[in-house]
Structure 1
Amino acid sequence: MRTTLLIPLVVLSFGCTLLSLLVIRTIVQQQTKADLASDLRHSVKTYQNLQHQQRELLARESALLADLPSLKSLMTTYDPRTIADGGIEFWQVSGCDFFALLDQNGKLIVSYNRGARLDRSGVARGLEEADRHKPGEPILLSLGDRIYEIATQPLYFGPKEHGTFLGSVAVGYPIDEYVAREVSEAAAAQVAFAVNGRVVVSTLGPGLQQQLVARGGDLLQIPTQDKKIQLGKMEYLAASERLTTSLREESPTEIPQLVVLKSFEQATQLLNRVNRWVLALALAALVVGSGMLASILRNLTRPIGALVEGTRALAQGNFDYQLSEDGASEVRELSRAFERMRIQIRRTQRELVDSERLATIGRMASSISHDLRHYLSAMYANAEFMSGANISQAEREELMLEVQTAVQGMTDLLDSLLLFTQTGRALHPEFESITLMIQRAVNLVRSHPAGREVKITLNGLSSLEVWVDAKKLGRAVYNLLLNGCQAAKRGQGPAAVTLTLLESERSIQIRIADNGPGVPVLVRQKIFLPFVSDSRESGTGLGLTLAQQIAQEHGGGIELEDTMAGNTVFTINLPRAALQALGAAVEKKTSVAHIPVHEKG
């Protein structure tokens, strides 16, 4: 009962704990996603603010450069080499990271940049498309492995409205680590700028950048929300946002992406801390609740436990076990009722044993007196006939044979009763041949009057030797064969009995089949009970009972396999393991008996 009550308490406690942890985990994950969305908006807003300031600066610088007379004079030469040699001075004066001059047709004349020199063809293609936009409007341009914010301004000789168009000047600044740090600090997260699936600049280390490229997928190319990604030993929740429209709408992969990665570390630490508190409180509640429940149940379950022990003792046949009257009033009343039941059952059991003993003795006495009177009457009558003077020698021999048959019947009856009273005694196993034991039983049956004119067939005999009590087991085979012969004579055709010896790895079987009328339905269920035979519902039969008990003493049993008319089969099953155990017991007993005893000197 304690276990029954404690188990629901434990299940309820752990169930509530797991449910609480699941709810907390869900809330933390949802809050983390909400924070990431907010951080992404802050990141984009911060970048847009920085971009706005940068664009205003670029617009002013490009306008100032476009108004320089010296630059206009340089462009009027229309000589690319002259322009390339003189343009470097204007780049240095501007202080920009990127500077370029284009001719009247929008073709690149010369470009300068800080750091590794950019590919001229790539710069030319990008500036050609940038030159098609509104003059002075900065745009994002991916050049090489960098992203530049670039503004272009046309150059005119004379007034802009009716002057001569000389070409264009382009200036720009890269999105570098400074911009990335500014955005990262505003978002309280890691950020990265990517173009065409590659990371251009990021606050992540080189190793993590490589992992981001390898595992980022669509995150680095198209706007993505709430993507979980593992970088190093840390898990991130990532999102990306498109920064500007593409210069070439047919090539959307060139659109720069802002990627924000929010670490789960803080959320995980918070979640772990909350989990520990919840688990500690749940464990404390479980311990306190278990202690209180155990204290309450002790007074309830102890008397019930004693009652259970009394029930077990009663089931095992111990009718002297007494119960104490402790516990609640209901339990005490139950104990008193059980005590009254125990006393009544003990008295009834004694009366039942006495009556059963008397009934058994009466049935045995009735059986024995009836059969012995029959045999004695036959012997008396035959002896009286033999004493007559006018009887011939042939008649005298026939009468003598009937006397011998009566004596044999009385001997069989007394032997069966003797063996029946000896059931439960220890066996005397020896390493015997099963075939010899069967042949001895068959010879005895053939010499019995019931075995005459019955064809007994033996199949499967071999040189098998096992540990058995040959006398008892032979008696069991004899009884089954004798019953088979008696049943076969009541059949329709010629009486026949077949004995078959079967061997397997696990058991030995002795099957005895006859062609008699079969076992009546009313007798099948109690065929192995004492004084029940297969010829009538109640009789003097002890043969099957004795055979069953002998087989059980050998660790096996007897089965009635079939009761069809003309094919009744009884099978003695002898497990090899049980027979080997008999042999091991005999050898152990023999070895102990031969241990020498040394006398004290």
Structure 2
Amino acid sequence: MDRLRMRTTLLIPLLLLSFGCTVVSLLVIQKIVQQQVRANLNSDLRHSVKTYQNLQRQRRELLARESALLADLPSLKALMTAPDNRTIEDAGVEFWKVSGSDFFALLNPDGKLIAVYSRGAPLDRYMVEQGLGASLRRPEGSILLALDNRLYEISTQALYFGERVKGTQLGFVAVGYAIDEQVAREVSEAAAAEVTFAVDGRVVASTLNAELQQQLVSQAGDLLLSQAENKPIQLGGKDYLAASVNLATLGIAEGATPAPHLIVLKSFDQATDLLSRVNRWVLTLALLALLVGAGMLVAISRTITQPLKTLIGGTRALAQGNFAYQLSESGTAEIRELSRAFERMRVELRSTQKELLDSERLATIGRMASSISHDLRHHLSAMYANAEFLSDGTIPQTERDDLMRDVQSAVQGMTDLLDSLLLFTQTGRALYPENASLVLLIQRSVNMVRTHPAARDVRITLDGLSPLTAWVDSKKLGRAVYNLLLNACQAARRGRGPASVALSLQDEERSILIRISDNGPGVPESIRNTLFLPFVSEARESGIGLGLTLAEQIAQEHGGSITLEENVEGHTVFTIILPKAALLSLGETVEKKTVQSHDPVRR
């Protein structure tokens, strides 16, 4: 019943976490798609304005050439020499018809209007004369002119009798075309958007129908009067992204009063359809992932709880002296590795117990088993309790992260404990030396220590690492360096200042020295003489007191030793001394075995 409750309570928060991640992923994807859609619409709006500018540039060039051709007509020049304005006005209509333009005007050299012709209702002559004044100040260009709720693109050319530089000015000819619904449709087709031209808050030409034009004026009248970018509006139940450009700022309607505006409306319909399809696909995939995740979480919950209970049972059996208790290798990779290490430890301990049953180390084995069971029970109890807490779905994420770090720390402690015990039971066995780089050996040990919880917030520095190679057992010597580094990190964390550990590799004439120092409180006087004996530890915060024992035995197996050089508060230094002669002897032994294995006579 307890197993079912724990598994169920562990499954619920994991499902909630999976569901939460799915919802967050859906929201993030939706946000990204929305941003991309808006960015694409913004790009389309800018492209629409560029498209209009390009069309207008082509029209202005054509208009300028047309007005220049009219200004060079001898018959028009002859007409402008007539003394009577009425005569000029009557005869000028023929030139307007020949030009085929929507607007045609003739002015005297002083800029006074003589005649004006346009399609549709007659224009106010005074407004025409005032508006053309800006065109006369820039006769080589063209302007947009708003007249009687109509908008014209007008180009003006001067008429000269004779050469332009030395001749007599006869007046001006102004030619233009109306910016009407036809022009708006051309711009709309090129820009793939709805287009509206407005003057003084009034629509003069648009691709929108009359109802939508009224909604545009009533709901977004500011677009018709001022410049704006990327403004969302709704017309006729549809969403648009609008941009309003003051044509005067583009140099198209310079001097025009009031300034005309170009309003471009890009529909959200296609973007909305795309977003809806993306949402449907993401939601479908999210539900599928949730179902698959639920099945995986059920399996994961089973692989966590059952192996933990089995490990606790094995710990209790080991504490009671039952070395025949076997563990099943099931669960996650970490738990399986822990089970295998526990099984190896159990087998080794059983073998050791049989071999040393009648020896003086029987008492040591008894104390070792008691210490192991105590530490293993401590770590496993912490893992079990934290697993119970993790199954509570009301725990905040920050506390859940702390609990998971505690579980990882317990697993790391148990792994270190079991590795130390296994190595302790193997002391005295043959070495497997190889010509290895001591720098790489040290760096591997440092990297392993940095991942240990005891090295958290400890600054580890490497000083003076000489590029040395020597005949050593890389695995065992690396373990010795690891044990000393871990011991130094634990001591440094108990010091007063910021925890720091330094490691150096020195090449002397007869020996190789590996120095490890820390800024901890130092070694107490009470354990200094027994520091390298098994199960001796200063504070017993973690481990069972085998680290320094193993390190010294490994150094002795290499013909060396470990010394405590200095022992004052704030500066503790352990030194591994490896005589070069002993290391060379190990190398010679390996070379002899290699020669013998390849000697055909000996075979």
TM-score under structure 2 length normalisation: 0.45
Larger RCO, structures 1/2 (Cα 8 Å, 6+ apart): 2
TM-score under structure 1 length normalisation: 0.45
- The structure that has the greater radius of gyration is 1
